[in-house]
């Protein structure tokens, strides 16, 4: 569905399962950042009432995911750590086109959001298929569906706001770039790491 060029090695789930406390803390902060990103997009698009409405729903859903992960952390007696730097996301930020016009920037930010949702969904699928923890298996299956919907929404907004042919070409560029970036990841105890 996402056409990701480089799938996550299933062994990453073993790394993740080896330190669930760290994965959950990192995941919680990823959800908070996703909510913040949706709100940031709202500030760029006040004239698009329907898009703003959908982005508000996404921000609320991401914040609810943040709450859910936080509840799992508390229930298991883990310590909720400080926010984590996400090197993967920071490398993707570098690919957002600078300069140009406002519309191109907005489209690229939608594609950036779609890329993160696509990879997160793929990672949640890997967790669902490879970890032994039944509670988390079910939890990540539900989140996988949500992330797929967010991906579809962001891609749809990019195509709605830009020339579809140009957007599709730019999405292919994003896929190629992300494949190079993700080669350095998949070895750490973080959602994107």
Residue in 130, 132, 156 with CA at minimum distance from that of residue 144:
130
Q: What is the pLDDT of residues 102-113, one digit of tens each?
A: 999 999 999 999
Tracing tokens 């703003």 back to the chain, one arrives at 52
Angle, helices 102-130/20-44, rounded to nearest 10 degrees: 160
Q: What is the pLDDT of residues 28-47, one digit of tens each?
A: 999 999 999 999 999 999 99
Q: What Cα–Cα distance (Å) separates residue 58 from each residue in 17, 55, 99, 151?
A: 28, 5, 27, 11
- Please, which residues have CB within 8 angstroms of residue 163's CB and are 6 or more apart in sequence? none
Q: What is the pLDDT of residues 153-190, one digit of tens each?
A: 999 999 999 999 999 999 999 999 999 999 888 778 88
CA-based angle 51:145:108, to the nearest 5?
A: 40
């Amino acid at each position: 569905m996402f056409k990701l060029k480089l799938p996550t090695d299933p062994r990453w789930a073993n790394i993740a399962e080896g330190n669930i406390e760290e994965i959950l803390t990192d995941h919680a902060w990823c959800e908070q950042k996703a909510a913040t990103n949706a709100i940031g997009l709202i500030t760029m698009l006040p004239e698009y009432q329907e898009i703003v409405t959908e982005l508000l729903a996404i921000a609320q859903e991401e914040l609810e995911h943040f709450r859910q992960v936080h509840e799992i952390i508390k229930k298991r007696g883990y310590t909720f750590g400080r926010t984590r730097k996400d090197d993967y996301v920071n490398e993707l930020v570098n690919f957002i086109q600078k300069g140009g016009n406002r519309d191109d920037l907005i489209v690229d930010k939608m594609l950036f959001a779609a890329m993160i949702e696509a990879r997160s969904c793929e990672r949640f699928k890997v967790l669902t298929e490879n970890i032994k923890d039944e509670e988390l298996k079910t939890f990540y299956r539900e989140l996988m569906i949500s992330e797929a919907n967010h991906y579809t929404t962001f891609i749809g907004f990019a195509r709605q706001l830009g020339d579809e042919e140009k957007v599709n070409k730019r999405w292919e560029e994003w896929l190629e770039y992300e494949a190079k970036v993700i080669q350095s990841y998949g070895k750490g105890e973080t959602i994107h790491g």
